[in-house]
A and B are shown apart, each in its own frame.
Chain A
Amino acid sequence: MKRFLTRGGVIFLCVSTAAAVLLCVAAATDSGTDPVHSAFGGITAPLRAGSAAAGRWVESIAARFAAVEELQARNEALEQKVAELEEALRQAQTDSEENRRLRELLGLRRRRRDFSLEAAFVTARSGSNWASALTLDKGTACGVAIGNCVMDSRGALAGVVTEAGETWCTVTTVLDPSSELGAKVFRTGETGIASGNLRLMTENRLSLHFLEGGALKSGDLVITSGLGGYYPAGLLIGSVEELRTDDGGVEQYAVLIPRADIDGETELFIITAFSVEK
């Protein structure tokens, strides 16, 4: 013990403790990303990007040897789906034209939504099982800011930026227990709060609370409500899987299947700016 005291061991322990306290204070007093995290993230960002690129290269090679029959079956199913979507598109064009004529009749202005998008690759996934987060390879240098929504290529919401360095950002996904978003059921217009849940996170699900009525059906789409103007409206969060009652037996909530593939996505799109005209 004496040797430990005289050989600088206690000094080393004090330095480590001081660094840990500094981390805590910086995180508590600064609403953004603390300087230590930002600096460390900036140093490790190229390493993460390099290792993620190597991983994608290996995966792409392995994918080429995937079962041919499976690909053929998927191709046939997709061709059928395309045919159905083309039919739906033709109907939608007819409906859109009718909508335009009716708006003119009623004197309504056209609602428009514009997004500024920044494409980013996923360089790391959450190291902790108690949270759901992704690290992307774009940061404040590309206009990314805390609070920006992140979506996948199909327009489904993946999460929200909660930390941003110069060349990296951390996205808390919709599955994270701390995640809360204003949501709306597309079919009924009912509003609620879509939030992560620790139990549901391991099942790759999230919950929808504060439902006014009980008219939800399995398969109902849930989108962001955009109330408050913090997040754009109309981003697809997921679809209803089932309705459950909480442990107290009082409140009913819906279990949602997220539309974005949180574990599989390698490229996401950060909404750095948006405008909605009504």
Chain B
Amino acid sequence: MAQGRVVYRRLFYAAAAPVLLMAQDLFLNGSTLWGVHPLLPPLAVATVAVWQRRQESLCASAAFGLLCDLWMPGLIPCYFFLSFTLTAFFIGALAPRRTAPGLFRVTLWGAAALAINSLPAVLIFACRDRGTVPAALVLAGKELILSVPLTAPVYVLLLPIRRRFDRGMSLSGVSHEATSA
């Protein structure tokens, strides 16, 4: 029973991934403010990383990063794979696991995910030309400010999956049904 929930949860998260990418493509890539458009994928990575077990969120982030690298290539071929895996690793290591985080904490971790996602780009531009570092930091800041408010719709989209398939499971991944059985 618990195994079935895990499988369905993963399937639904996998189905949510292209929905997010389509929303990014259709609505956000053309909506710019201060010359920058908001980014959804790092927020989804942060949400899943905060809710799920470390190992599972690492795998999900790696797969989602690969999909993003194919759908919307970044500065280098495996940009999103690297940044999302790094994000899941840090959030898995630092986020407290005792309580189920609500929207506020997910938003904070979403901001951290955006900062981590921008870090490789800042480093790449710094290596090419040190003079671009201030401009790169400003761009990263604009991206963070514009994207953080979108944590709410991502949270709303993924919350039903968590409620439906994580019911009865603790954050350590142990099913209460399994332990009671």
Contacts and interface: CB of A to CB of B under 8 A. Distances in A.
Interface string B23-64: 011100110101111010000000000000001101100110
B35 A19 contact: no
Q: Is the interface of A mostly helix, strand, loop or mixed?
A: helix
Given A23-B78, A24-B78, A37 B135 contact: no
A126 B72 contact: yes
Contacts of B121: 128, 130
Q: Is the interface of B mostly helix, strand, loop or mixed?
A: helix
A202 B132 CA distance: 13
Report the contact-size class of chain B (Cβ under 8 Å from the partner): 35 or more
B29 A124 contact: yes
Contacts of B76: 24
A127 B29 contact: yes
Contacts of A4: 55
Contacts of B150: none
A199 B131 CA distance: 10
A26 B138 CA distance: 32
A84 interface: no
B153 interface: no
Contact of B135 (A28, A44, A198): A198
Interface residues of A, number: 43
A127 B62 contact: no
B77 interface: yes
A37 B73 contact: yes
A246 B70 CA distance: 36
A51 B26 contact: yes
A130 B39 CA distance: 12
A130 B55 contact: no
Contacts of B77: 20, 23-24, 26-28, 34
Nearest to B69: A23
B102 interface: no
Interface stretch (A10-18, A104-112, A206-214, A215-223): A10-18
B75 A131 contact: yes
Contacts of A246: 131
A160 B78 CA distance: 23
A51 B72 contact: no
A203 interface: yes
Nearest to B74: A128
Given A9-B55, A202-B142, A129 B72 contact: no
Contacts of B70: 23, 36-37, 40
Interface in A84-140: 124-131
A26 B70 CA distance: 13
B63 to A, nearest CB: 6
A48 B72 CA distance: 12
24 contacts: A13-B58, A13-B59, A16-B66, A17-B62, A19-B66, A20-B69, A20-B77, A20-B81, A23-B77, A26-B77, A34-B77, A37-B73, A44-B71, A51-B25, A124-B72, A128-B121, A130-B125, A131-B74, A198-B136, A199-B132, A199-B135, A202-B36, A204-B35, A263-B30
Given A20-B66, A28-B77, A203-B35, 4 more contacts: A20-B78, A48-B25, A130-B139, A198-B125
